[in-house]
Amino acid sequence: MTSSFRVHRHRFKLKPSIQNAAETDALVRIAGKNTAPLESLSLVLSAVGIEHFLDEQTDELQVAVEDAETAVFHLNEFLAENQNWPAPPPPRQTLHPQTPPTLMMLGLLALFYLHTGPWASESRWFAQGAIDSVAILTQGQWWRLVTALTLHADLVHLAGNCLIGGLTIHFLGRTTGYGLAWLLLILDGLIANLLNVVLHRQPHISVGLSTSVFAAIGIFTGLQLTRLSARPVKGLLLPLGAGAGLLAFLGSEGVQTDLGAHFFGFITGISTGVLLGSTGLIEKFRRPLFQAISFGISLATIMLCWLLALY
C-alpha cells in the first residue's frame, strides 16, 4: 500500500509532553493540517502506544525517528478503514409548497357515502361499482378496480379511512405534490385490486379506499429504502419492518377486512416508492402545472370509471 505521508527529517527540541526523551532527540513530521484531523490521528497513535507530539503552532504531528515507520503504517490503516466515513447524510425530502386538497377529497368521499349509503346488495352503486372478481375476470369490468375505492361498507369503515388514511394521504401529497399523490393512489389502488382479484382464487366482493391507503404507506417505505440503499442490510430492514408493522396493526383486524387488498396495496406502494426515489421523479415533476394536470387526470379517471359502471 502506498504511504499517505511523506516523512520529513528535522531536529526539534522535545517538549515536556514527551517523557523520558533527551532534549536533542530527532523528531520527524508525519502529518500536517492538510492530511486529516490531527486530533484523530493523535488518538490513533495513543491507542497503539506510540509517543508523539502535536505542535499546535505549526499544525504538525511528530514522532521519534525510530517510531516513524510504525506510526505511518498505523495511520494509513486508520485512514483506509475510515475512507468516506462518516457517510454523507441522505438528501432531505423537502415538502411540497402547495397544500394538498386532502380535506376536500375526503369531504367528497364522505358526501358520496351519504348518497350511496352503507353496503346493500340491492344498491345500484354497490352492485355496479364494488370489486366483483367474477365480473372483472369473466366480463372485463375493469372499472370496478377504481370505483370500489370510492365505496365504503359502513360509517366505521369510512371514518377509519378518512382519519388514518387522511393523515397518510395528506403527507404523501406534501412529499410528492398533491396531483402526483392522487394519481399514484388511484394507479396503485387499481393495480393492487387487480393482483388481489387474480391471485385470490376465490370469488369475492370488496370495497374501500384502504387499498390506496396502504399503497401510500408502501410508497413512504419505498422512498425510505432508496435513501438507505448504501447502508447494511439491517438498515434496509427497518423501513420494511415499520411498514409491515403498520400493515399488521391497521390492516389485519375484522372479519370483513380484505387483507389481500391491503397487502398488495402495500407491496405495490413499495415498488412505486422505490421507483420514485431512485429516479428522482418527485423533483422532476414538482411544477404546479404538472400537479394540476395529474390531479385532473385522477378526477377524470374516477368519473370515467363510474360512467362505465352505470351506463
Residue 93 lies in a domain: no
CA distance linking residue 212 with residue 226, whole number of Å: 21
Amino acid identity at 243: G
Position 56 scores a pLDDT of: 72
Residue 249: inside a domain, yes or no? yes
ω into residue 37 within 30 of 0, thus cis? no
- Lookup: cell for 7: 516523512
In degrees, to the nearest 5, what angle opens at C-alpha 181 toward C-alphas 175 and 182? 155
Q: Looking at residue 53, what is its pLDDT?
A: 77
Task: Compute the average pLDDT of residues 276-290.
Answer: 87
CATH number of the domain at 162, please. 1.20.1540
Cα Rg, the chain, nearest whole Å: 31
Are both 49 and 116 inside the same structural domain?
Answer: no
227 or 163: which leads in pLDDT: 163
**Does residue 50 sit in the same domain as residue 166?**
no
pLDDT digits (tens, 9 = 90+) for 69-89: 888 888 888 877 776 666 555
Q: Is 11:24 a contact under the CB 8 Å cutoff?
A: yes
Range of the domain at 77: 8-81
Higher pLDDT, 92 or 163: 163
Q: Which of 77, 51, 83, 82 is closest to 64 using CA atoms?
A: 51
Does one domain contain both 141 and 193? yes
pLDDT at res. 55: 72
CA triplet 125, 216, 190: central angle to 5 degrees?
40
Mark whether 177 and 236 lie in a shared domain.
Answer: yes
**Residue 206 contacts residue 261 (beta carbons within 8 Å):** yes
Split at pLDDT 50, 70, 90, the class of 161 is confident
Asked whether 42 and 55 are in contact (CB, 8 A), the reply is: no
Q: Are 283 and 176 in the same domain?
A: yes
State pLDDT tens for residues 106-118.
Answer: 999 999 999 999 9
Residue 146 confidence (pLDDT): 97
Looking at per-residue pLDDT, the higher value among 246 and 308 belongs to 308
Q: What is the DSSP letter of 14?
A: P
Q: Which of 2-16, 118-132, 140-154, 232-246 has the lowest mean pLDDT?
A: 2-16
Q: Which three cell numbers stand for residue 125?
A: 352503486
Whether residue 187 is predicted with pLDDT greater than 90 in this model: the reply is: yes
Is residue 89 domain-resident? Answer: no
Specify the pLDDT at position 216: 92
Across 80-102, average pLDDT: 65
Q: Are 51 and 62 in contact (CB under 8 A)?
A: no
Q: Does 119 share its domain with 69?
A: no
Pair (26, 171) in one structural domain:
no
Residue 164 and residue 59 share a domain = no
The structural domain count of the chain equals 2
Same domain, 62 and 120: no
Pair 294, 155 in one domain: yes
Residue 92 falls within a domain, yes or no?
no
Reported as type and span, the H/E element at residue 63 is strand 60-64
Quote the pTM value: 0.66
Q: Do 71 and 45 meet the contact criterion of CB atoms below 8 Å apart?
A: yes
CATH of the domain at 44: 3.30.70
Whether 3 maps to a domain, the answer reads: no
Read off the pLDDT band of 61 (50, 70, 90): confident
Nearest by Cα to 151 from 100, 84, 210: 210
Residue 2: inside a domain: no
For residue 94, name the pLDDT band (cuts at 50, 70, 90). low
Residue 1 covered by a domain: no
Q: pLDDT band at residue 257, thresholds of 50, 70 and 90?
A: low
pLDDT at res. 34: 63
Residue at which a domain ends, from 47, 81, 115: 81
Least confident of 129-138, 143-152, 190-199, 232-241: 232-241
